[in-house]
Amino acid sequence: MGGVSMALEGLSRGIFRSLGFLKSKRRLDEDELKEMTKSLRRALQEADFNVRQTKEIVDRLEERMREEEPRPGVDLQTHAMNILYMELVRLLGADHEFQPRGATLLLVGLYGQGKTTTTAKLAEWYRKKHGLRVAVIEADVHRPGAYAQLSQLLEDSSVVVYGEPDEKDATKIVRNGLAACASADLVIVDTAGRHQLDQELVVELENIASITRATERWLVIDAQVGQAAGPVAASFHQLAGVTGIVVTKLDGTARGGGALSAVAATGAPLVHIGVGEKVSDLEKFEADRFISRLLGMGDIRGLIDLAPEDMDEEEAMRLTQRMMSGRFTLNDMYKQMEMMAKVGTIDKLMSFLPGNMFGGLGGMSKPQKEAMQGNLDRYRTIMDSMTGWEKNEPAKIKAERIQRIARGSGVKEKDVRELIAQWKRSRKMMKGMGGNRKLNKQMRQMMKDGDMDMDPSSFGM
């Protein structure tokens, strides 16, 4: 699952299709503007944005396109993209600042929305990103197996999991859990859900909230409920004083747009989004970075956030410089693949890059990315059968060596030739990038400070 741009792939495609009416245009044509806004309205509604929000975004875009001159050298398509970016960021609201150290976080929500999985994801997130000692308390006494599920999700983690599977009084579990987890920096409490927010649930939540003196109460809501997320969020907000919202299961279906926009309309801030099944598939919600990736502008800071703790940053810098200077061997390619494998799948990595970067690689379809992932795994196997000299001098590998490498790695000879061809293509492309002074400078700056504040027109948008 490849993060945000995958999550709302349909919306992303719809927006690019709409703004395509202005491609390479420098002067505004009323007919083209009308076509574009009509197409954009359809794209937003297909992504489940409500009619009022769709109208507001499209009207604002139309008005600003007429009133604001594009910057010199920027075509109308990029100008429209930048305005749309600002309007969508404004719609999704301000970021929520949460200080996790010393906090008690209560998770609430309806039944089957992914609360227990989200509890594990949040615990791991704050343990890894903030270096905190995290404890979780399983207070769902209505669903058999909730404690076992949470324990299993966190079995490879140092997060402390507290629960009493045979106890039927949630407040008692919470009271005992708080005493047992007193040394933790952050305590997360997973509560029971119902099929609807009834009085009994409200009373249970109020009791738990007063025992924990919860600093934060976050509503967990499934993206698949679409626009219905709005009324649910509003009623929890009103009755349980929700301070933040986590939207889960934000995958390739269209309704995610509806869930995000409906939640934003309640005024309760979005804090995190869940984008897959694994415990690591959680992201902090920051509207500007979210929309930047949705619109194919990339999010290099987010990509740097993905890097695991044991990533050697100096080695990554050295590798990037070698690649862009054209001194790029199969040894370098192997190290690059190892680093990529640590960060995640091709799909996940590409979702953080500007769509048109690296000759349009970021805009590849899901099947293309999956095929590329399969190739990379095979290439690593082939390289394991090569000598050091062969990896350093791939251009000098002749037929006999190709035969031996293929036999040693259990692949066909054409696969070995394809690897060498791929290396040649990569080297040529990287050399070309190295010769692009503007891009070279931006890449160095991005690597240095992980900032993504740049003009999307640099990437051919």
Residue range 150-166, pLDDT digits in tens: 999 999 999 999 999 98
If you average pLDDT over each of 189-203, 289-303, 399-413, which comes out highest?
399-413
What's the whole-number mean pLDDT along residues 20-41? Answer: 84
Q: Is the pLDDT of residue 100 over 50?
A: yes
* Confidence at 105, pLDDT banded by 50, 70, 90: very high
Could you report the per-residue pLDDT of 313-333, keeping only the tens digit for each?
666 666 566 655 556 778 777
Average the pLDDT over each of 4-18, 123-137, 221-235, 254-268 and give the range with the smallest value. Answer: 4-18
Q: For 360-381, write each residue's pLDDT tens digit.
A: 455 566 676 677 777 777 888 8
Give the pLDDT confidence score for residue 452 in this predicted structure.
Answer: 39
459 pLDDT higher than 70: no
The token duo for 50 is: 């409500």
pLDDT band at 225 (very low <50, low <70, confident <90, very high): confident
Please tell me which residue, 184 or 210, carries the higher pLDDT value: 184
Distances in Å between the Cα of 417 and the Cα atoms of 118, 369, 399 are 45, 21, 9
Q: Of 195 and 213, which is predicted with more confidence?
A: 213
For residue 435, pLDDT over 80 is answered with no
pLDDT at position 457 over 70: no
pLDDT over 60 at 456, yes or no: no
Chain Cα centroid distance, residue 33: 32
- The pLDDT value recorded for residue 360 is 47
Helix (H, G, I), strand (E, B) or coil at 104: strand
pLDDT at position 312, please?
A: 59
Rounded to whole angstroms, what are the CA distances from 281 to 133, 287, 370? Answer: 20, 18, 18
CA dihedral for 111, 113, 117, 123, sign (positive or negative): negative
- The answer to pTM > 0.75 is no
pLDDT of residue 181: 94
Per-residue confidence (pLDDT) for residue 364, from 0 to 100: 60
Sign of dihedral through CA atoms 354, 357, 358, 360?
positive
Long-range contacts formed by 125-130: CB under 8 A, 24+ apart? 125/272, 125/282, 125/284, 126/100, 126/186, 127/157, 127/158, 127/159, 128/309, 129/305, 130/100, 130/101, 130/186
| 356 pLDDT above the threshold of 70 | no
Higher pLDDT, 117 or 301: 117
Instruction: Please give the Cα distance from 354 to 458 (Å, whole number).
Output: 10
pLDDT band at 451 (very low <50, low <70, confident <90, very high): very low
Of the options 1.20.120.140, 1.20.140.10, 1.10.3720.10, 3.60.15.10, the CATH number for the domain spanning 3-92: 1.20.120.140
Average the pLDDT over 407-414 and give the result.
Answer: 91
Angle value at C-alpha 192, between 151 and 194, nearest 5 degrees: 140
Cα separation of the two ends of the chain: 24
Q: What is the pLDDT of residues 111-154, one digit of tens each?
A: 888 899 999 999 999 999 889 999 999 999 888 899 999 999 99
How is domain 104-295 classified at the architecture level of CATH? 3-Layer(aba) Sandwich (3.40)
Spatial distance between the Cα atoms of 51 and 55, rounded to a whole number of angstroms: 6
Location of each CATH 1.20.120.140 domain in the chain:
3-92
pLDDT at 344 over 80: no
* CATH code 3.40.50.300 region(s) in the chain: 104-295
- Which residues lie across from 433 on neighbouring strands? none
User: 425: pLDDT confidence band, cut at 50, 70 and 90?
Assistant: confident
**303-459 to CATH, choices 3.40.50.300, 1.10.10.10, 2.30.40.10, 1.10.260.30:** 1.10.260.30
What distance in Å separates the CA atoms of residue 288 and residue 146, rounded to the nearest whole number?
Answer: 35
Taking 60 as the threshold, does the pLDDT of residue 438 lie above it? no
How high is the mean pLDDT of the chain?
Answer: 79
